[in-house]
Amino acid sequence: MPPDDARWLPLAPAPDAGGTLSVYYADALAAVPVREITRLGDNKADPNIETGTYGLFSTCGRRPRSGIVRDRRRFLFFTSAWGGGRVLAGYYRLGWYAYTTSQATRDYALAAETVRFDADPLSLATIDDRLGTDYNRFFRSTRTLSGDEAARLADLLDGRPDGTDHYLDEIDRLERFNRCYGGHRYNGWGRDEPFTWAAADARLADGPPTGASTVSNASPSGWWACTASNCAHAFENRSRLRVCPSCDAAGTLAPLEEAPDS
């Protein structure tokens, strides 16, 4: 649950609120399928189980988040490749959304009122056999679920052992692994601290951006430069960050056509 902050708005789900099934990268070094924290050049921040948010610390998945807010969907489920196939790792029951300090319109962060991740995740193929569904059919990023589909998946997960604490332990372990071998918990960002609500303030906006347009979250060179007058820091990362890793300014990162040393 987010702190008492007027920038977090109630999601107010629709009467037959459905859900979204979202694909994420899981970390092969983990004992359970947490996000790929050790991904080289592109450390992952979502799903951010430690705060129960999605899109607060990452710009990935902008369009699906916008669709969730537009349609007032209640559930966000997470699936990832694990153990030879895709598994259903867990879900958020969503309660709030907020505008982000972004250079793009309709870019929201989401916050959960309930976070639940499976201690021993079932494969989508197994779920299809049990429920008569077809979730194991390939989809690239997200899949929209009806109200009935979302409720059945939530009931399935609620009836299984909760492993959320184990996921949190693994996130902390992998962050410390990064720090041991690269100097930072998130080496691409130069971030030394775990994610907490204290880091949310710079990433939230009071409302939608004025006159903003859709911008790319990718850089042709994989490099970014901060446009803040007191910074001009350049760094390498595959996707746009919400704030500059050097000066913490929000919405100031511009893609570079070429790497600085090219």
Q: Give the separation between CA 27 and CA 224, rounded to whole angstroms.
A: 25
Token code pair at residue 99 = 């505008």
Please give the average per-residue pLDDT across 132-142, as a whole number. Answer: 93
Average pLDDT estimate for 81-91:
96
pLDDT at 13: 84
Residue 98's identity, in one-letter code, is A
Answer whether CATH 3.90.350 is correct for domain 9-180.
no
185, pLDDT greater than 70: yes
Phi, psi of 127 (to 5 degrees): -65, -40
Residue 2, exposed/middle/buried by CB under 10 A (0-12, 13-18, 19+)? buried
- Residue 62 — pLDDT band, cuts 50, 70, 90? confident
pLDDT of residue 26: 98
Q: Say which residues have a Cβ less than 8 Å from residue 142's Cβ, sequence separation at least 6.
A: 20, 21, 22, 23, 61, 64
The percentage of residues in the chain with a pLDDT greater than 90, rounded to a whole number, is: 66
18 pLDDT higher than 80: yes
200 pLDDT higher than 70: yes
- Dist. CA 186–CA 43, nearest whole Å: 6
Q: What count of Cα atoms within 13 Å lies in the side-chain half-sphere of residue 169? A: 7
Q: What is the pTM of this model?
A: 0.93
Residue 212: predicted pLDDT: 57
Confidence band (pLDDT; 50, 70, 90) for 114?
very high
The SS3 assignment for 106 reads coil
Distance CA 32, CA 229 (A): 43
